[in-house]
Structure 1
């Protein structure tokens, strides 16, 4: 069996969760011994595994179908998670959905990260088989490391008495950026750091103004940071707070869980079935609830759930994902 992993605009999307999903797929296939290529000119593959939905992706799908190849489409994107992102995204969302349905309909098999996103795709009227397979997480990479944590604390000049709350995401309203900043204003005794970057020209003016200066002094936007510093932040901070309103999974949540970190998320349907409030994470539905959770976690009046959270990440390891992908490939080939 040989698989062509296709990812349109790889450099452009490298800093996103979808970009990390491709790296996880490469690792997963290697771990289970599946031969793969990322060369789009390759013709001797058995299955094409598509990850994106641009014009080149459509051309690759059509070429594969004409050649009699099997098509697996990884449905990372939905109309719902396109909304409240870039300038004009809400107006374009219905067209995006139409394009997604057209592309996903070409597949012999659809993969999507969660049962929630599977249900969304089924509501679009897609009739082919759909399987929920997590994007997975690299457990080894996110194991707590004193050296990485020291680099994180040195980079941000963190004092021993400071309490640090982090988030990782694009500069989208959908990600809960406004709420993150509002909570920083409500909790001036803590430092809030939002990791990530989006070209400022592509985001609405109100979000752009927040990122470039209209935020309290205890809230920071250092941009996209990779490697030891961000990995040290995941375990070295005091809380990972992810107030996103819509996800198909949320790879950064898995990375925080794998880092043995306290995790606070918005109570949205995508987490149903794998994240449980007050069991392996904390959930909130309003800024008032988030503030109470933040203070309870950081001041020690709420119990730590780090180890329960890590068990969730363990069940979504890259090796496990590789075995699930292999089963899908074998199904379409047989």
Structure 2
């Protein structure tokens, strides 16, 4: 069996969670020794679609006409489409309808968490099998490294004793960018750095103002950075603060947990099945986020090892075996 991994619009999505997820899939298949291709012109027996564009639809219909199985990856839901791009809330019902066209046509759906599985099953897609399977994390890549941590501090001009809190995500209200800035206003002695970027014309004016000038001096919007500086930030910062209001998993959360980092999250349903307050700090609003970060920065919160154990349970080598098993099951049905 040979699998086609397909990501339409790879260039535009390379900085997103979906872009990173397909890299995890590719690495997982390498680990499992599973034959695969990313070229739709190659021969293959099954296609694993990661996007919902017209080319993906055409490829799905072509594959099924040839008697090949099609898996849709449930990265997206109506819920996590809202509060993102300009007009996203207005068109979200149409987006859901379009998603459901794919989900109903596919032979099976793989989605990152039990939460996103429940959402998709609730869309009225019939009896299509929906498999909850984490995006996984390559633990070795995020092992704390003093050289990377030094590169992070040098890049941002941070002194050895400067407390720093980081976040990573696209510039979306859904990601909690507004609360990130409000929390920073309450903690002027702490440096707050947001990693991530998106074309400014795609986001609402309010978010453009936040990123542009409407934030305190202790906040830095660093743009998209990868490699040693970002990996050093994940382990070398004092906390990873991710106030997102909706996720299907949150790869950056796995990255932070794998980095032995203190993690502060908004208490939302996606975490209910796999994260507890023994592993992370939860908040719901600005005062509770500030309180959680103060516990971390004062040394009162020591949950990094419990958090790392959760990352270990989602080690990409484990996910690789589960993904290959899912492929075999779907291929044989």
User: Under TM normalisation by the shorter chain, which class is it?
Assistant: over 0.9
CA distance in 2, matches of 1:122, 1:73: 13
Partner residue, 1:168: 168
- Confirm whether residue 214 of structure 1 aligns to residue 214 of structure 2: yes
Partner residue, 1:110: 109
Partner residue, 1:156: 156
Q: Secondary structure at the match of 2:180?
A: helix
TM (norm. structure 2) is 0.98
CA distance in 2, matches of 1:314, 1:108: 30
Partner residue, 1:38: 38
- Confirm whether residue 62 of structure 1 aligns to residue 90 of structure 2: no
Structure 1 segments unaligned to the other structure (5+ residues):
none
CA distance in 2, matches of 1:141, 1:4: 26
Deviation track 1:142-173 (CA, whole Å, cap 9, x = no partner) reads: 00000100000000010122100000000000
Deviation track 1:99-133 (CA, whole Å, cap 9, x = no partner) reads: 00001111111100000000000110122001100
CA distance in 2, matches of 1:163, 1:333: 51
Between Structure 1 and Structure 2, how many residues are aligned? Answer: 331
Partner residue, 2:247: 247
Runs of 4+ that moved beyond 3 A: none
- How does 1:1-334 map onto structure 2 within 5 Å? 1-42=1-42, 44-126=43-125, 127-277=127-277, 279-300=278-299, 302-334=300-332
CA distance in 1, matches of 2:248, 2:265: 14
CA distance in 1, matches of 2:10, 2:111: 19
CA distance in 2, matches of 1:33, 1:109: 22
**CA root-mean-square deviation:** 0.7
CA distance in 2, matches of 1:163, 1:31: 38
How far off its partner does 1:286 sit? 1.3
How far off its partner does 1:296 sit? 1.1
TM (norm. structure 1) is 0.98
Structure 2 segments unaligned to the other structure (5+ residues):
none
CA distance in 2, matches of 1:333, 1:89: 36
Deviation track 1:274-312 (CA, whole Å, cap 9, x = no partner) reads: 1101x0111011111111111111012x23100110000
How far off its partner does 1:178 sit? 0.1
CA distance in 1, matches of 2:140, 2:213: 36
Q: Secondary structure at the match of 2:102?
A: helix
